[in-house]
Structure 1
């Protein structure tokens, strides 16, 4: 009976007479068994899956993220595990010319056997493996075994033969060594924001395919605008069952109410030595029948279904592939900066910005790390959807997929297409030198080719990055001795320039490939790919971290053309930490648990020093730990707010055109640079991002001299004319301004404009007052208020304990299925960083409020079932107040 059910499942994906037999565990049709090397462990396995997940599900392992289990379970990474299953085949399966075992994701070093005979090996988790298994299949029962080797030990063996610096991650990471020797998620060996868990398993789908002619593997689209029409060049990549095949190649672009564009032609496919072939077909699409695809904040994201088929003339077998395409132009512009700024003292160097549909757009966003430290869990659709939706709600238009993680699954990029999030896609190399032996380069070539072909068609994909921080690491001797520079430079060029660059350029000639990030872009290339100063403010992109200076000060940040990484740490909430421990003694800054969770050297001292510059917290406070968490999130949010607004303001004077802070998300419950905690809870940073990334924002800059410049940031495609800017001076003791002045302001489209305003409002002691900025302008539905605090908050005079009343009036059912509860907040005094909490699953629409008015209304969004009265009773809050020791 099992055989019958399995065969029915096998026939679910049929094109003509082509069959796919799924080897995935969904539905229970295929049963996998996982065993360790000595046979002491034998448990059910899953595909897609991984050994950590399977052992946890079977009760062999505790929760990896509980207390110090990341280290306590590390033995798993040193053992070797085998995944095996059996399946039935009928005679008609064996009658096809080709039968391939396709493994979409093998993590990482593995040996594959079918019916006791070797069929192939794997050494790269980013590669799709296709093994010809026709000689090994038989009618009736077949057995498949995938035997994995410990990645930790395999990496060590390779390092002994092909050493590349560094040998190990820093000791404070509590990780494993030689990650750079394997084409495996680099962060799985530990990072400064995450634990080590170098696992094994089939982390993506597996299946056996049976066909007689050819199967489509990938489709790329090359879209160019020619006068009033789009030319869509479709290139199809196939694997052949024989040496030559003729047939019809067809493509259909569905245009909704506008009908469809359909083209077809006869082609003759001739297989190369590796059994692959490709063919092209062109389509011409009038600009009148499609709409432009825009990044978030600038327009809609229309996507069109493109179906491609190949039908064999001899067998009449059809292979098909459907993708979505968007019509837009994206280019990275590196031109003489004088052409933008004019002949000024700033006019040395090149621009570095993205032009989309002919418009220079400022990139606002964050850096994406894997959604889970275990790659088999990192594709959870709800988690990915929630994180990307949160990015959109914070007005982001770009995410950078960082090079120490994974090439994300198809759904990630499809959601970016739908949401308007441009993707800066790193290739998976980060913070290391890498070997360049033939074996390594051969697997890299396959990896880059497959992943470029897989991702190329997505309209959200903006540019390729060759690696993360390896140019600056080599120039700065982070991991190497200066005497080794020439050796490692030659290997760097051999890998990223001689090997990878030609592949990217040949498969995706329309997109920029930046060899490294940070980098001087074209200038780095002119200097032999390792610039004398890869951090030059005059070229390319920069990463900037400084925990020794005052992060709330605009005057500490260096200029840049594009800020692709910057950030500050904070702790996750107490609620999130309690999902990792139930010991009260762990919830202390000097506990072994908290030391274990902090992977950044001197991390807590840097957080504390940043906090102490502006906030007052005494170590003898009975709630010291809880307040340390809260204040760390305040300090992080304010520092990144300041730095981000500095970059947005610098569009006016330096043509800075991007701000992607580090980092969007987390992989465990620990101190990190994230704006969203593991589990999805927003930190104060992410709420602040909704304001500091707002399309229209009044952004004041307080200088050390006390001077205040005022910028009007306008990220819209239309000008802002005749706006009314209200500047108010408040005394900390009252909600009524003591002084105010209104200015008429304006800004060109897509600009940051410094306003011709001289603020002379310091008529009182600066310790007693603060400034509030608000804007009203035609066509601007909302522009966040902004503030200037002239002295550190710990030094202000008059900030007193408020009386706060919070009520919940009613709830509304939203189209999303969530319930929105209306929340009313009343205060009698100014309140700094009012933070609301509710035990129900959900979040407040806004949080971390600066209450400078008597009444504020917000909302609580939840998918749970809670009444208004229950919510009102459950809401708790905290805020910042200077305490007396």
Structure 2
């Protein structure tokens, strides 16, 4: 087996003795340099180390994103000593392995230069056998400033755009580096141009070869599955003959295993790598299908591949992964086959078929879990976010192209939770260079990434970039005069460089050149479509801040909505972790302006609120209500748009809704449904309802007609279901009229059931409540139509609200969580009742409640036992009232 040598921690980094306060982004500080050393963690980064050492404070507090920018302008050196034995020195292979280096670094071992790094997403392996010595060895890694490195490279290979908008408070030329693009700032996050050893560093010492990775390919034919395994071997960094015996063992159901083995005697390539193929035939009666979340279970099967010196000999290396058996294809075919010879039937479909079933993909977009990449790999944070996605019926997340390729743990958890991944390659919102050095850098990145992730059943599709096709066609960066130059470079990068690599190592998955795009149609138009947003093809990103986002009629048709969203502010509880200065708690404060990176962002939020809600600027609680109303507005806007897409499965064959965005990297206005603290915004609670597997979904038309849709996302049809429509006056909890409609709905489909007229009602005095009932359907939430903006309604009464906690509580021993039942009594309709427990760290299972009954109950979950009295005392609430 390979032996691993790791450096002693702490290592040390060179730092500057002081830093400037209150500097502006454009300033390049000239700071007297002194030599000092502080402990550093590996994996880690300089920002993290400086915080632990007390050199800088919390980087996410106040204006620290700018006030600590000096860190990104300087060079930094990591040093570590490690012991090497005489046996180690005598081994045939000794490789120094860096799993991830962020980003431009120069490496020395015992004062001898051994190599450099230029790509944060690449694993670097250096042959150090000739440089090791018995006893103490010193490793030194010196990092160049990523800001200056990007600037220097741009001077030679300028590629638009030069800089991010001023509102981002960011840095320029991120597109020149193979580094997390968002680390130079984005509209939802701060600039922290990180440097450091963000993944493990170690020395591998071995005699023969190691199994670095496994890729697997499954194909189903009748009752058999054909499993093709490629074991990716490394024998050092130069050509070598590898001899031995390789075995694959697949553990299947019934405590059985399927084995295959072969003897090998092969020459590696010049870099010491080679692949060995193994094939196993698996009968379908010993495995079960892997299904996306909400459609079935996620059985995973252990696959272990072992390399030995000979058939019964010493084990040299082994690799263990878990695989799932499922079929998945992205179907782009003549839409008229489904929709007939209609306007909707023109063009091509764009949907995912899993295990033979066309599935509407519900979900969101994933950005890095932390602005510092090494912290973004934190397992607890990843778990909380993915479980929050699972619990709101999401079946797909799009890993966005301006972040990082996520950790092995992330994809393993997606496999376990049934969350399919739309994986962007890491190019976003820019043109990118296409010089030889850049392309060679990218080739290694793409090959390593595809080989590392390919075996996961959760990976659904690869996409070459985020928004770069539409950016070029739409002249986002004033590239029109050089359109042909940039088009040629675009094709050179995404088509001629990336596409062949993906198709070599993962031939069964679809590679989309861009997102959004027209898919096959874009390819037929030379990869830059005349209209990449054509509603008859592919996927779209849609944002509209000028229209009424609560109005379901404003949204355009699409085959697949892979991005759409609206901003809100984080809660005051989350905001308090960034500033406790009460003067900051105002929309026009310097702090609030600093945190809002979207140009005109607060104006857009205010405009949306004023269309539907009433907020007095002179209210002493104006900012608190502004935060609360922004979350109401965001939740209702995304609810309207999502339900439009789900309804449109019936008449446009829209087959996906991934809203922007799931998570946050700091405490600021953003499009997220989960705050940086992990706290759910109202949007995330609403997602639990608007993504429900069975949903009655109304569409209020401009003609005052309400079309009523039934949506069935299950693998069984709805037979003899019942839709109830209750008509309410705002002034009373009892409906003044009810109607019932019987409905049948095919499996995995949406259907318009009926239409209702509101012409004979005073629409400012009423609202409608929709519900669905059928035996075997346990969860179908209420839905509502508010015919008039809530600021204009008549009859809404000031409610009396009583909140109590049941005496009994429940403990879940599996996750050590305590559940309490919270009872809510009201005497009037309550809009968007929002429950908080500021001094307790638990969560409610439902929130933002529209209450139309005198008594309801919600559950409260917390990780420690508390008294009923403590919980009752800590619950506070707010709601919307004109």
Q: TM-score, normalised on structure 2? A: 0.97
How far the C-alpha of 1:40 sits from its partner, in A, is 3.1
2:26 — aligned with what? none
Q: What is the SS of the residue equivalent to 2:375?
A: coil
**CA RMSD in angstroms, aligned pairs only:** 1.1
Q: 1:103-124 CA distances to partner (integer Å, 9 max, x unpaired)?
A: 0000000000000001110000
Total equivalences in the alignment: 860
How far the C-alpha of 1:256 sits from its partner, in A, is 4.5
Select which of 231, 244, 252 maps to 2:241: 244
Q: What is the SS of the residue equivalent to 1:534?
A: coil
Q: What is the SS of the residue equivalent to 2:492?
A: helix
- Return the alpha-carbon distance in structure 1 between the equivalents of residues 529 and 695 of structure 2: 36
Q: What is the SS of the residue equivalent to 2:78?
A: strand
| Contact 1:721/1:745 (8 A) holds in 2 | yes
1:95 — aligned with what? 90
Is structure 2 residue 735 aligned with structure 1 residue 737? Answer: yes
Is structure 2 residue 279 aligned with structure 1 residue 292? Answer: no
| Contact 2:209/2:233 (8 A) holds in 1 | yes
Q: 1:616-656 CA distances to partner (integer Å, 9 max, x unpaired)?
A: 00101110000000000000000000000000000000000
Q: What is the SS of the residue equivalent to 1:376?
A: helix
| Contact 2:44/2:199 (8 A) holds in 1 | yes
| Contact 1:245/1:312 (8 A) holds in 2 | no
Is structure 2 residue 49 aligned with structure 1 residue 54? Answer: yes
2:29 — aligned with what? none
Q: What is the SS of the residue equivalent to 2:636?
A: helix
Select which of 32, 38, 58 maps to 2:11: 32
- Return the alpha-carbon distance in structure 2 between the equivalents of residues 800 and 764 of structure 1: 20
How far the C-alpha of 1:171 sits from its partner, in A, is 0.5
| Contact 2:330/2:351 (8 A) holds in 1 | yes
| Contact 1:250/1:263 (8 A) holds in 2 | yes
Q: What is the SS of the residue equivalent to 1:194?
A: coil
Is structure 2 residue 208 aligned with structure 1 residue 229? Answer: no
1:10 — aligned with what? none
| Contact 2:106/2:141 (8 A) holds in 1 | yes
Is structure 2 residue 3 aligned with structure 1 residue 19? Answer: yes
How far the C-alpha of 1:729 sits from its partner, in A, is 0.5
Q: What is the SS of the residue equivalent to 1:767?
A: coil
- Return the alpha-carbon distance in structure 2 between the equivalents of residues 320 and 507 of structure 1: 21
Is structure 2 residue 136 aligned with structure 1 residue 141? Answer: yes
The gaps in structure 2 that reach 5 residues or longer are 17-32
- Return the alpha-carbon distance in structure 2 between the equivalents of residues 801 and 21 of structure 1: 69
2:23 — aligned with what? none
2:796 — aligned with what? 799
- Return the alpha-carbon distance in structure 1 between the equivalents of residues 336 and 407 of structure 2: 41
Q: 1:645-678 CA distances to partner (integer Å, 9 max, x unpaired)?
A: 0000000000000000000000000000000000
Q: 1:92-113 CA distances to partner (integer Å, 9 max, x unpaired)?
A: 1111110000000000000000
| Contact 2:694/2:710 (8 A) holds in 1 | yes
How far the C-alpha of 1:269 sits from its partner, in A, is 2.4
| Contact 1:213/1:317 (8 A) holds in 2 | no
1:270 — aligned with what? 267
Is structure 2 residue 90 aligned with structure 1 residue 111? Answer: no
How far the C-alpha of 1:779 sits from its partner, in A, is 1.4
Q: What is the SS of the residue equivalent to 1:727?
A: strand
Alignment of structure 1 residues 653-668 onto 2, 5 Å: 653-668=651-666
Is structure 2 residue 109 aligned with structure 1 residue 125? Answer: no
Is structure 2 residue 357 aligned with structure 1 residue 378? Answer: no
Q: What is the SS of the residue equivalent to 2:96?
A: strand
How far the C-alpha of 1:239 sits from its partner, in A, is 1.0
1:323 — aligned with what? 321
Alignment of structure 1 residues 206-605 onto 2, 5 Å: 206-241=201-236, 243-313=240-310, 316-605=314-603
Q: What is the SS of the residue equivalent to 2:254?
A: helix
Q: What is the SS of the residue equivalent to 2:133?
A: coil
Q: What is the SS of the residue equivalent to 2:649?
A: coil
1:823 — aligned with what? 822
Q: 1:723-770 CA distances to partner (integer Å, 9 max, x unpaired)?
A: 111111000110011111111112100000011x23245543111100
Alignment of structure 1 residues 735-814 onto 2, 5 Å: 735-755=733-753, 757-760=754-757, 763-809=760-806, 810-814=808-812
Select which of 620, 636, 639 maps to 2:637: 639
How far the C-alpha of 1:268 sits from its partner, in A, is 1.9
| Contact 1:518/1:543 (8 A) holds in 2 | yes
Q: 1:492-532 CA distances to partner (integer Å, 9 max, x unpaired)?
A: 00000000000000000010000000000000000000000
Q: 1:58-79 CA distances to partner (integer Å, 9 max, x unpaired)?
A: 0111110000000000000001
Is structure 2 residue 186 aligned with structure 1 residue 191? Answer: yes
- Return the alpha-carbon distance in structure 2 between the equivalents of residues 430 and 760 of structure 1: 46
- Return the alpha-carbon distance in structure 1 between the equivalents of residues 346 and 340 of structure 2: 10
How far the C-alpha of 1:800 sits from its partner, in A, is 1.4
Alignment of structure 1 residues 150-165 onto 2, 5 Å: 150-165=145-160
| Contact 1:465/1:516 (8 A) holds in 2 | yes
How far the C-alpha of 1:313 sits from its partner, in A, is 4.0
- Return the alpha-carbon distance in structure 1 between the equivalents of residues 875 and 676 of structure 2: 22
- Return the alpha-carbon distance in structure 2 between the equivalents of residues 640 and 826 of structure 1: 29
- Return the alpha-carbon distance in structure 1 between the equivalents of residues 256 and 516 of structure 2: 45
- Return the alpha-carbon distance in structure 2 between the equivalents of residues 813 and 789 of structure 1: 39
Q: What is the SS of the residue equivalent to 1:135?
A: helix
| Contact 1:31/1:86 (8 A) holds in 2 | no
Alignment of structure 1 residues 671-682 onto 2, 5 Å: 671-682=669-680
| Contact 2:704/2:759 (8 A) holds in 1 | no
- Return the alpha-carbon distance in structure 2 between the equivalents of residues 572 and 450 of structure 1: 37
2:163 — aligned with what? 168
- Return the alpha-carbon distance in structure 1 between the equivalents of residues 848 and 149 of structure 2: 48
1:834 — aligned with what? 833
Q: 1:584-607 CA distances to partner (integer Å, 9 max, x unpaired)?
A: 101111100000000000000000
